[in-house]
Amino acid sequence: MIENYKKYVFIMPFVGLFVSLLLFVYFFGIAGPGEPIWGAALYCALPFLVNTICFLPLCIYFKVSKKSEEHT
């Protein structure tokens, strides 16, 4: 079960990047960003940023736990 969770954690930034790219295509290519362009850009980048921020501590945790398993 933990192996499936590790796979999910390592895919998170790529899923966020994919969703962010889809949002950029939609907002800037199809719908038009409207008045605050920086707000639309931030909204589009949000999935990637959140998934990456969640990924980093979990990645560090898995590396530390792997090293501690090797020492025991």
pLDDT at site 72: 64
Distance, in Å, from the CA atom of 58 to the CA atom of 35, rounded to the nearest integer, reads 37
Q: For the chain, what is the domain count?
A: 1
For residues 38 and 59, the answer to whether their CB atoms sit within 8 Å is: no
Residue 72 covered by a domain: no
Q: Please indicate, yes or no, if residue 38 is contained in any of the structural domains.
A: yes
Owning domain of residue 29: 2-67
- Supply the pTM of this predicted model: 0.77
SS3 15: helix
Torsion of CA 35, 41, 43, 49, to 10 degrees: -160
Assigned domain for 26 exists: yes
In a domain, 56, yes or no: yes
What is the tens place of the pLDDT at every residue in 20-72? 999 999 888 887 777 788 888 898 899 999 999 988 888 888 888 877 777 76
Residue 43 lies in a domain: yes
